[in-house]
Amino acid sequence: MACFVIVYSDIPLAPTFLLLHLSYRQFSEHGLLVTPLSGKVDFHHSGHHEYKQTPFPVKKVIFLMDKLGLLFVLKDGRRFMLWRDSVDEAEYRHLVVWLKREH
């Protein structure tokens, strides 16, 4: 879909190839969809977080879409999404405030 939009848009030819290359590289590195967090996630003040009882080494948290959810980027490059509607509203707001302070 992104390739279709880029090719049929009014963007000049040279930037079109650059955008196609960047889109392909992004897709090949990270895939099309972000894996949702489902199950038990424990966040600790020490920075040692756990997801399904395995280490969850968070490199950064992206708050750009915090009205929809939080995007976690791990140290190994994997990405996970915590959707806002999958958590109690008060807990989600508390988590956002705490993560902004920690990260």
In this predicted model, what pLDDT tens digit does every residue of 36-60 receive, in sequence order? 888 888 888 777 888 888 888 989 9
Q: Is the pLDDT of residue 69 over 70?
A: yes
Q: Exposure of 70 by Cβ count < 10 A (0-12 exposed, 13-18 middle, 19+ buried)?
A: buried
What average pLDDT is seen over the chain?
Answer: 82
pLDDT tier at 32, thresholds 50, 70, 90: low
Report the relative pairing of strands 79-83 and 69-74 from DSSP bridges: antiparallel
pLDDT tier at 21, thresholds 50, 70, 90: confident
Query: Once rounded to an integer, what is the mean pLDDT over residues 97-102?
Result: 88
- Under a CB-based contact definition with an 8 Å cutoff, are residues 81 and 35 in contact? yes
Q: State how far the Cα of 87 lies from the Cα of 57, in Å rounded to an integer.
A: 21
Report the relative pairing of strands 35-36 and 79-83 from DSSP bridges: parallel
Q: Exposure of 40 by Cβ count < 10 A (0-12 exposed, 13-18 middle, 19+ buried)?
A: exposed
Q: Is the pLDDT of residue 26 over 70?
A: yes
Residue closest to 3 by CA, chosen among 33, 22, 12: 22
Predicted TM-score (pTM) of this structure: 0.68
